[in-house]
Structure 1
């Protein structure tokens, strides 16, 4: 791992029981550095065409689409309960996705670009001044799906972010989000909305199937300085014959994964960026953990004023399921 990624204090010890001191982009550079080095950046890229040009919806049309309820069905809820994740087809139209992608490209061009890992993360997009991405993050259509999958009355937004793996960007290591989110609740889920189709060489998000599969890797020690955790989890899953779903994403298909669902992604071995808008939701009434750690990243930006052990209810964590 490149030692320049961590601060001097973080680099001295391998534990995580202290706050993150750097930027969120630094956090992603650090986290990707923990991926199995044997599955690193590709040396040759597969040529992939950009998404087809489509007519962009007006803001009113996009607002209506993102507010219209999605017919989830009991089978999807049962799959989520059984497997810890679910992939749903035709949740968003090509026009809505094209509008989101155009906004991401615009904001990315105006920013500082991806970190040294080739991974671009932009957070709190609903507060960036982009009306389009605000509609995505606060979408009742997506928020209601999240609440229904968790089988809770209402969900609040933890934060949204844009995750863009640039061409040649390497592997995202095995992880589960409960390790990152400083939320003292099991009712936490993340929507993962690809802003284009994701063929296999682009590195679709891959899930370890099974609600309790995290117990298979429970004995693997996390390391903040090398790839031993990523390797250890992969080995534990192979030994237990855990089913891993690394299937491509069709255009308009999105996924929801529970905070205890293990997932990873292979490198982006294509000539196009893999752009995703992700939002994390938690059940209304959840509390902040007593002791956030460096793995929680810059959580104060997402829950300003929230106090350890107290119910999370800040202006940046609105209810989004209605």
Structure 2
């Protein structure tokens, strides 16, 4: 890997109180231009290099199931790549996460590159926190495109207010979750919204329990997105309620036992 002089991302972004209030009410928000074009260009280079280096998906799109068609998913790049680490652990993003959650400090759960290839399939309705054995509802995911994207490229789509119900169904991302949660959203009457366009360096933020999905990528370019999951400091590990949570407990929380503070070496404290 070529080492380049990366921007520090130490400068913070101040959110308006109205945006924070709306985030807590709706369960999601969007922040515009939190990275400059030059910053995005520098970090896109190193994130892409790491993502494709560590990608293990070799099947053609038509050979994959619904989950596999939705995106290339390359997880915890910061753990393996010192340059991506500067992005994932950046104060700028951590401060936004802490302010949205109303806490002083946050920890990292994990990062992941989510690259929806040209012609890639839809992402079924799901709740991220289905996978996380954490005691707190104060969790948030930053979802940042590294290229300009439009609605038809797989824009994240939210059921506004759905986070307030906590866990809706103990169900993983799948055709089953798409059907069951789409029916639930319809019956609950949630307002379903998505941005029509985002520039590289914009970001959406959503609670771990916010129901969300994404359409397929109908364009001829890859939708490159980098995500970071944050949770409030002082959270503890809970007894896993599904096999995915048990897998996460062992991997991202490094085997910490239920009741212990969620503070393994892979969950550094930020701010």
Q: Name the SS for the 2:143 alignment partner.
A: strand
Q: TM-score, normalised by structure 2?
A: 0.86
Aligned residues: 257
Q: 1:123 aligns with which of 43, 56, 75?
A: 75
Q: 2:182 aligns with which of 231, 234, 240?
A: 234
Distance in structure 2 (CA, Å) of the matches to 1:85 and 1:224: 21
Deviation, structure 1 residue 97: 1.7
* 2:14 is the counterpart of 1:71: yes
Distance in structure 2 (CA, Å) of the matches to 1:149 and 1:128: 28
8 Å Cα contact 1:121/1:164 also seen in 2? yes
* 2:140 is the counterpart of 1:189: yes
8 Å Cα contact 2:73/2:113 also seen in 1? yes
Q: 2:5 aligns with which of 59, 76, 100?
A: 59
Distance in structure 1 (CA, Å) of the matches to 2:5 and 2:19: 30
User: Cα gap change, 1:225/1:281 in structure 2, threshold over 3 Å: closer, same or farther?
Assistant: closer
* 2:35 is the counterpart of 1:92: yes
Distance in structure 2 (CA, Å) of the matches to 1:160 and 1:290: 23
Distance in structure 2 (CA, Å) of the matches to 1:225 and 1:159: 18
Q: How does 1:1-322 map to 2 (within 5 A)?
A: 59=5, 62-63=7-8, 66-114=9-57, 116=64, 117-118=68-69, 119-131=71-83, 133-210=84-161, 212=163, 214=165, 218=168, 222=170, 227-247=175-195, 248-291=197-240, 293-296=242-245, 297-320=247-270, 322=271
Deviation, structure 1 residue 209: 0.8
Deviation per CA, 1:269-300: give whole Å up to 9, x if none: 11111111111111111001112522334442
User: Cα gap change, 1:70/1:267 in structure 2, threshold over 3 Å: closer, same or farther?
Assistant: same
Distance in structure 2 (CA, Å) of the matches to 1:211 and 1:172: 17
User: Cα gap change, 1:224/1:277 in structure 2, threshold over 3 Å: closer, same or farther?
Assistant: closer
1:9 is matched with: none
User: Cα gap change, 1:205/1:315 in structure 2, threshold over 3 Å: closer, same or farther?
Assistant: same
Q: TM-score, normalised by structure 1?
A: 0.74
Q: CA RMSD in A?
A: 2.2
Q: Name the SS for the 2:95 alignment partner.
A: helix
8 Å Cα contact 1:103/1:130 also seen in 2? no
Distance in structure 1 (CA, Å) of the matches to 2:75 and 2:41: 19
Distance in structure 2 (CA, Å) of the matches to 1:112 and 1:156: 25
Deviation, structure 1 residue 226: 6.3
